[in-house]
Amino acid sequence: MIFLSTLLISMFVTMALIPILRAGALRLHAAVDIPDARKVHDHPVPKVGGLAMAVAALVPIALLADGDRFVNAVLAGASIIVAFGLWDDIRNLNWKVKLAGQAAAALVVVAGGGLKICFLGSCLPEGVLLADPLALPATLIVIVGVTNAINLSDGLDGLAGGTSLLIFLTIGFLCYSSGQFPGRLLAMLLCTAVIGGIFGFLRFNTYPATVFMGDTGSQLLGFLAITLALGITQQNTPMSPMLPLLLVGFPVLDTLSVMVERVRSGRSPFAPDKNHIHHKLIKLGLFHTEAVVTIYAVTGLLTIAAVMLRYHSEWLLIGVYAVFCALVLAALYVLEKKGLRMPRKGFFELTIKGRLKSLRDKRLPIRVCFPAVVWGLPLLLAEACLVPAEIPGYLGAAGAGSVGAILFIRYVRPGWTASALRAVFYLAVPVLLWMGQAASAGWAQNGLAAEAVKWAPGALALVTVLTLKFTQRRKGFRPTPMDFLIILIALVVPNLPEPSIRSVAMGSLAATLIIMYFGLEVLIGELRGNITKPMVGILAALGLLILRSAAGAG
C-alpha cells in the first residue's frame, strides 16, 4: 500500500502546488518563460512545475530515508540541482554557473553515496574493474551529461515529462526485478514519487501548456534518472551495466547530435537553437502533438528494449543502441535532404479523418459510448466493492458517512456535489482495489467472472476514449496526448509478455485506478454540471459496500 499512497500523495501535492506557484510567479514576474525566436510558445508561461514536483517527490522520501547512504546522497544532490535550477529559472544563469551546480550535485552522489562507474561487464576482461582515476571522472561526466541532455530536450509541451515518465516506470520495474541491494526499497519509492509528480505536472503541461517545469524540473528529472539507473546497474545485480545507455538514449542522442551540428557550423556547443530532433519533426510537417507522441513512441521502444535485454551482453546493448542512433539520424538526414513533409491532403486526412468527422456529425458513436461511460463507471465501482473477500466494519461506516455527506452537500450546496463525489471516489477506489488484490472473493478468481473483472477496466477505457473522440462539446474535460499515453500504459503494461511484469499486482491495480479516475473526470466534464446519474450510481455502489460490511459483521 505504501507505493500506491506515495504515488497518489505526490500526484495530488503537485496538482495542488502548481496553481499556487503559477499565480505567485505571474504576480511577481519571476520564473516566467518569455517567448522568443527559438521557442514554440507565443505567450509568457510560468516555470514553476519543477519546483512543485521537487517538493512533492523529494520531501516524503527524505522523511523515509532513515540513514540510507545512497538515497540520502541522491536527495542531497537533487536539492542542489533544485536550488541552482530555481536560481536559473529566476535569473537566467550563465551556462558555466549551471554546470558548476550540476558538478557539485554529481560530486555529492559520488563522494557521499559511493556511486561510481567501475563495472563494465564484458567490455573489460573478466573480473577487471575500472580504476578510480578513470571511474570517478567518468561518473561525473555521465551524470552531468545526462542531466543536461534531459534539460535540453525540454522543448515542447509534455515532451520531457512524458519521456521521463517512461524512463522512471522502467527504472522502477528494474529496481523491483534486480534482487536485493542496499536502498532498493527507497529507490523504488523515489521512482514512484517522481512518477506521481510527473502525472500531476502533465495535467498542466500537455499542449497547450499553462505551466513549464523549467530548468528546476528538467535538470531534476535528468539527475534522478541517471543516478538511479547507475545505482541499480553498478551494484551486485545480474543486469547489464549498459542499461542506462538505452534508458536515456534518446535525449543523449538528441543532445550530442545538436552539439556536433553547432560545432560544425562554428558556434558554441551550448548556443541555443532550433535544431533539436523535436524541432526537426515539426519542420517536417508534424503537428506539435504528433511530434511529442512520435518521441514518446521511440522512447517507449528503447525502454522496452532495456527491459527485454537487461540480462544480455553489453556488446549487444551497445550494438542495438548504435543501430538505433544510425537509423534515427539517417532518416532525419534523408527527409531533410529531400525536403519531404508530412502530407496533409492525402488518404489519411481526406478519408480516415473525413469519415470520423461524418460519424461525429451523425452523433451515433457518442450515443452508444457515452451511456456506457455513465453507467459503466458506477458498475466498475460496484465490482470493486464485490471483489474483496470481506469488507471490514470501519469501511462500511466510512461508506455510510460518505453517503450522508454527499446527500447533505447536494441539498445545502448543490454546486459542491461534483467535488464531493470526486473526493469520495478518489479515496474509496484505491482502498477497494488494494483489498481486492490482497484477498479476492472466490467468484472473482476463476472462470468467466474473473475474466470480466480483468477486462472491464479496458472496456471502460475504450468507451471513454471514443467518447472524447466523438464529443461535440466545447467545455469541460479536455483530452491531451498525455491522457492517451496514460491509458496506453494502463492497458499495455499489465499485459506485456514479460512474466515478471505480469506478476506485479501493482501493475493491474494502478491501471484500473488510472482508468477509473480518468473516466470520472471525462464523465463530469461531459455532463456539464448535471451529475445526477453518476451520483445515483456512486451512491448505489456505496450502498452495496455498506450491505457487505453489515453482512460480514453479522
For 254-288, what is the HEC assignment?
HHHHHHHHHHHCCCCCCCCCCCCHHHHHHHCCCCH
**Cell numbers found for residue 392:** 471490514
Q: Is the pLDDT of residue 244 over 60?
A: yes
Q: Is the dihedral of CA 378, 384, 387, 393 positive or negative?
A: negative
What's the CA gap between 292 and 278, in Å, rounded?
Answer: 7
Quick one: what percent of the chain has pLDDT higher than 70? 82
177 closest CA partner among 308, 320, 315: 308
Q: Is the pLDDT of residue 405 over 60?
A: yes
Q: Roughly what angle, to the nearest 10 degrees, separates helices 417-438 and 393-412?
A: 170
Residue 441 DSSP SS3: coil
Confidence class for position 28, pLDDT limits 50, 70, 90: confident
Q: Is the pLDDT of residue 109 over 60?
A: yes
What's the CA gap between 155 and 272, in Å, rounded?
Answer: 11
Question: How remote is the C-alpha of 553 from its chain's centroid?
Answer: 41
Strands 32-33 and 45-46: antiparallel
- Per-residue confidence (pLDDT) for residue 489, from 0 to 100: 58
Q: Is the pLDDT of residue 488 over 70?
A: no
Angle at 548 between CA 417 and CA 4, to 5 degrees: 65
Max mean pLDDT among 5-14, 37-46, 136-145, 451-460 falls in: 136-145
For residues 277 and 324, the answer to whether their CB atoms sit within 8 Å is no
Mean pLDDT over 423-434 rounds to 85
- Per-residue confidence (pLDDT) for residue 441, from 0 to 100: 82
Range of lowest pLDDT (67-71, 345-349, 507-511): 345-349
- Per-residue confidence (pLDDT) for residue 100, from 0 to 100: 92
- Per-residue confidence (pLDDT) for residue 501, from 0 to 100: 45
- Per-residue confidence (pLDDT) for residue 81, from 0 to 100: 94
Mean pLDDT over 390-400 rounds to 89
- Per-residue confidence (pLDDT) for residue 33, from 0 to 100: 67
**Cell numbers found for residue 525:** 466534464
- Per-residue confidence (pLDDT) for residue 540, from 0 to 100: 92
pTM, to two decimals: 0.76
Give 1's contacts (C-beta < 8 A, 6+ positions apart): 434
Confidence class for position 179, pLDDT limits 50, 70, 90: low
pLDDT tens column, 494-552: 555 555 444 445 556 766 777 787 788 788 877 777 788 889 988 999 999 999 888 87
pLDDT tens column, 226-243: 999 998 888 777 888 899
On average, the pLDDT of the chain sits at: 81
Mean pLDDT over 125-141 rounds to 86
260 closest CA partner among 282, 277, 243, 248: 277
What's the CA gap between 238 and 123, in Å, rounded?
Answer: 15
Helix (H) or strand (E) holding 33, with range, is strand 32-33
Q: Comparing 83 with 479, which gets the higher pLDDT?
A: 83
Q: Is the dihedral of CA 299, 300, 303, 305 positive or negative?
A: negative
Q: Is the pLDDT of residue 433 over 90?
A: no
According to DSSP, residue 109 is labeled I
- Per-residue confidence (pLDDT) for residue 205, from 0 to 100: 74
- Per-residue confidence (pLDDT) for residue 479, from 0 to 100: 52
Give 300's contacts (C-beta < 8 A, 6+ positions apart): 166
User: 255-292: b or e for each residue (b if 16 or more CB lie within 10 Å)?
Assistant: bebbbeebeeeeeeeeebeebbbbbbbbebebebbebb
